[in-house]
Amino acid sequence: TSYFFGLPSHNEAMQVLLTALKTGEGFIKVTGEVGTGKTLICRKLLNELPDYFVAAYVPNPMLSPTELRRAVANELGVELGSDCDQQEFTQKIQERLIAIHQQQKSAVLIIDEAQNLSAEVLEQLRLLTNLETAEKKLLQIVLLGQPELQEMLALPELRQLNQRVTARYHLDAIGRDELAAYLKYRLSVAGMRGDIF
């Protein structure tokens, strides 16, 4: 994250993410083409989350529904038996989320490369956001992915999830006028002295 230059689109994406998380939005989505800085923003978000957030991070969601359940449980500190089914998983996750809520904290699940999620897994994630108290959702979910993620969410079977995405941001490619300062900054962070351009 020391390489984070803070291009206008990156700063706006961070503002959207932090504001949406602080206001308790259910689903938050950031999309962008390959190389626009989604993973860097993801790492920066993890570093800058306020202390009252408990974050679960899944960097590679090319997982089966069972594997994703285990990854989420592991990140949240929940132990699952070897034969855990969806019902037991939901119950244990809910117990953990309630415990987090009782500590005056908020839980957030951050998934990078979310365009690799299957429709079945996305629906499971939607069901997880049904867990709530009388006043707030127990789990917020941030999806970061390539534009194919939007195509996936547009599928008829995922319309309920798509309706729950309350904050959206699309990262644009770097502009020609920003390129020189961007390269100079990143090269200096890497240790270059002087100017090669």
Q: Tell me the one-letter amino acid at 118.
A: S
Helices (H), the chain: 8-22, 38-48, 65-75, 86-102, 119-128, 148-153, 159-164, 176-189
pLDDT of amino acid 6: 85
- For residues 80 and 73, is the Cβ–Cβ distance under 8 A? yes
pLDDT tier, 105 (very low <50, low <70, confident <90, very high otherwise): very high
Write the CA distances from 43 to 112, 154, 189, integer angstroms. 10, 27, 17
Write the CA distances from 114 to 82, 92, 125, 140, integer angstroms. 26, 24, 12, 15
Bigger pLDDT: 78 vs 84: 78
Say whether pLDDT at 84 is over 80: no
pLDDT tier, 42 (very low <50, low <70, confident <90, very high otherwise): very high
* pTM, full prediction: 0.90
Mean pLDDT of the chain, nearest integer: 90
